[in-house]
A and B are shown apart, each in its own frame.
Chain A
Amino acid sequence: MTMSAVAQEAMAALSLGVFVRAFELLLGWSLLLQTLEQWHIQRLDRVSDWSVQRQEVPTQPTGLLALTDALFARPGPYLAMLGLRGGLAVLLMAGLLPAAGAVALFAIALLLLLRWRGAFNGGSDFMTLAGLTGLLIAHTWGAWAGMAEGWRAGLWYVALQSITSYFVSGWVKFSRAEWRSGAALPLFLDTGVYGPLAPDSVFRRPAVARLASWSFTLWEGCAPLVLLDPRIAALFCTVAALFHFLVFWFFGLNRFFWAWVATFPAVMYAAWA
């Protein structure tokens, strides 16, 4: 049997349930890591000040300000909310999360947006929210149309958000002269939290920087091609995992790594479906 035939047979053996379990495991893991970090950050952060931040919380709907005051003015209720989130993340990983748990995770995500002024770490929050929205769609639509239909809709939503993120990120960079020349790469790597780059880093060589820039901007821009074939999707996700690891390695963005990896089962499902 050829490798291609083996791959095709393996793909045929997959079912919606496999993608759902993989998605639940990875999203739950990502949420759990983020929650443990937030718990630690509560002790570290001496800059946030709810008495200042509350001034920009919308006064409508009525009761929102009182709710956020109750949750964020003192550490106890906030930590209890994080504890609940961590518990729900474990249930999600175990495949035991009820629909009410999906609603609660989504609601906590909204409250965290208010606590952290719209985002704690930008893109990773956005993709985590996309995952949680997919989870919410799966459970709410599933309650009405059956869980299989719900999960199909939820996974497609997550897959589309994930593919869109690569597509936009790639082509926006590709439209910039400084990325096409490779000049932008060492400039950004110098700003990384683990930077600056060593003076003799290979990324300071213009040819290497240009090759690396073209490689990953074109690769990102071609993300929609994953929908054509599950093998392309598998290859894309493998390269993406390596790409996100490198982003972590240079910029310290560990949350990005897990937030995007959690969407890969949805991307694979979209290609498989």
Chain B
Amino acid sequence: MSHTTLLTITLLLFGAYFAWLAWAMRHRTRVLQGRWWFFLRAFFPNWKFYHAVGRPPRLHVRGQQASGEWTDWQLVYPRSQRALWHLFHNAPVNLALNHQNLVDHLAADINDLPEGGDIQASVTYPLVARLARLALPSEGAPYQAYQFELRLASPRGEAPERMLQSPVLAA
């Protein structure tokens, strides 16, 4: 087989592969579920980053002080000061982003919950509860109880929609 023929076949195969990808992007594909799929999803990345604006879930928390008074609801969302050296070491920010992923996971778990299912039985729920507890502002401490909410925010300024409200939890 000549070099030109081989090159043409290779390019055609690549063309077919990217055409198939383009087709797959426009069609709904089957969602694979199961524990192993969950843990090994990194082997099947969909490479869709920031593709749709949507209504992202946001965690809010409030605490009940020793006097019995509740604080206002506070948004728990990672914000940080930028520094160039973070390009090489950015552990606190990456951890905060990981915690925000937990919030996204909880929203996904709620959406996938079967009829009559209990979200509190999920693994994500107690982890988010811990995140909420740790996010209570130190100036109001000590707290005797706290409560968190998951709200669907609107980047376009519409009113947020409550997705979940936890019971009052002991701090």
> Residues of A at under 8 Å CB distance from B?
33, 36-38, 40-41, 44-49, 52-53, 55-58, 110, 113-114, 116-123, 125-127, 129-130, 133, 160, 164-165, 167-169, 171-173, 175-176, 178-179, 183-184, 187-188, 190-191, 193-195, 224, 227, 245, 248-249, 252-255, 257
B78: Cβ under 8 A from any A Cβ: yes
List chain B residues, Cβ under 8 A from A195. Answer: 79
Main secondary structure of the interface of A (DSSP, over half): helix
Total A-B residue contacts, Cβ distance less than 8 Å: 158
List chain B residues, Cβ under 8 A from A193. Answer: 78-80, 93, 96-97
Q: List 24 A-B contacts (CB under 8 A).
A: A33-B89, A36-B89, A46-B130, A46-B134, A47-B127, A49-B126, A49-B130, A53-B123, A56-B35, A118-B40, A119-B42, A123-B45, A165-B47, A172-B47, A175-B26, A188-B50, A193-B80, A193-B96, A248-B86, A252-B86, A252-B93, A254-B88, A254-B93, A254-B94
User: Are B99 and A47 in contact (CB-based, < 8 A)?
Assistant: yes
| A249 to B80 Cα, complex, angstroms | 12
Main secondary structure of the interface of B (DSSP, over half): helix
The number of chain B residues with a CB under 8 A from chain A is: 56
Considering the complex, give the chain A residue whose CB is closest to the CB of B80. A193
| A120 to B101 Cα, complex, angstroms | 9
User: Are B90 and A252 in contact (CB-based, < 8 A)?
Assistant: yes
User: Are A44 and B48 in contact (CB-based, < 8 A)?
Assistant: no
Contact with A along B5-28 (1 / 0, CB 8 A): 000000100100110011001100
